[in-house]
Amino acid sequence: MLRSMARKRSSPDPLETSSQPRWLVIRDVTSRPVRYTELPPGADLKATLAAERRRLMGEGWKADELKRYSFVFCQRDNERVCISIEHFEPGTAPVGHGSFLGYKAKDDP
């Protein structure tokens, strides 16, 4: 194959607008969901993640910089949480997707 014909592989943007619902999830240090909110299809995922980061910073949390990822870590005193945009509602992801199948947050009915 000629060099000019080589394909460049690019990673998909995890915060690209989607036609499917997504979830804004805050997980504790053991990855259990503490709080989550369903985001409607077409939501601005980057802006949602940035707004939640700013909200926690307003409550005294220190937050990592936003990068090209769908998550950011925040810490306050001895607490650490991860804010993320996820494809599945917590507790409903198929086995093998790194979630606690069937786990519901403390606040859930």
Res 44 pLDDT > 80: yes
CA nearest neighbour of 101 among 52, 32, 35:
32
Q: Say what the pTM is.
A: 0.74
Using CA atoms of 3, 13, 30, 91 in order, give the dihedral in degrees to the nearest 10. -120
The answer for residues whose C-beta is within 8 angstroms of residue 19's C-beta and 6 or more apart is 41, 42
Phi, then psi, of 94 in degrees rounded to 5: -60, 155
Where along the chain do its domains lie? 16-109
Of the two residues 47 and 92, the one the predictor is more confident about is 47
Query: 89-102 pLDDT, tens per residue?
Result: 888 876 655 544 44
Res 1 pLDDT > 70: no
pLDDT at 101: 46
